[in-house]
Amino acid sequence: MKKVLAFDIDQTLNVAKTPITDDIAELLIKCLNHFEICPISGQKFDQFLIQIVNRLLDCGVTPEALTHLHLFVAQGTQYYRYEDGEWQQIYNYPMTDEQVAKISQTIEQAARELGFWEEDKLAEGDEIIENRLSQVTFSALGQKAGTEAKYAWDPDHKKREAIVKRCKELTPEFDYEIGGTTSINAIIPGMNKTFGMTHLLEELNVKKDDILYFGDMTQPGGNDYPIVQMGIDTITVRNHEDTAFALRGILGVL
């Protein structure tokens, strides 16, 4: 029996950049009665609250159940746990200002050279490159773009693969991973989901065999692939409906 269910977020628990559905929320609440639940994603802490935690609260999750929810933010380089009635940051491993600046300049240069810098499509107040403290994230259309536009921008990953290739030529000292629908996460080598999952093992005092991971980007170059490489049991899903189907099966045999 597994002790931990870990999840990517976008395209695994939800439609990209939207709150989880009632169905997923209710399934996760049931899972919290049996497992430690660990979302791990390149997103910011605020997005974890908007997309997951607030929806669980809407669907009646209890404070006790929330103590079994572990938020591994920015690929797990930041970790939040619910204690004493609020979310507490347990650790954080930020980049230096110099590293953030160098990565940001590199991504913009690569995207402009390749014709993939879509500044004219940004919503007011939005940004293409975002400093998430322990990673820098490129979102080709910004964070506020509509779901349909995001899905249509790079469905075969070819645009982002080209950007990543150019970024590695310019700054080989950093790693660049494809995630979500329009995103690239830039990190210090080793600060990917392997880092997050290694800390998950330590923080929850579990072994690899105790974990089942769900993700949609498990192919080489995808931001879930490091977890596959770790040897953690993984279910590849296409969308949150696949995840819901799998969770019903797991809950049905408990």
CATH number at residue 63: 3.40.50.1000
What single DSSP character describes residue 191?
Answer: -
Give the pLDDT score at 144: 86
Give the pLDDT score at 204: 97
181 and 203 fall within a common domain: no
150 and 86 fall within a common domain: no
72 and 24 fall within a common domain: yes
Q: What is the mean pLDDT of residues 45-56?
A: 97
Range of the domain at 84: 4-93+191-252
233 and 208 fall within a common domain: yes
Is 2's pLDDT higher than 90?
yes
Is 221's pLDDT higher than 90?
no
Better pLDDT: 148 or 162: 162
Domain CATH code at residue 115: 3.30.1240.20
pLDDT tens-digit map of 83-108: 999 999 999 999 999 999 999 999 99
Whole-model pTM: value is 0.84
Better pLDDT: 181 or 64: 64
Helix then strand then coil, % of the chain, to nearest 5: 40, 20, 35
Is 50's pLDDT higher than 90?
yes
Q: What is the mean pLDDT of residues 26-35?
A: 98
85 and 111 fall within a common domain: no
Provide DSSP, 38-78.
EEB-SS-HHHHIIIIIHHHHHTT--HHHHTTBEEEEGGGTE
Number of structural domains found in the chain: 2
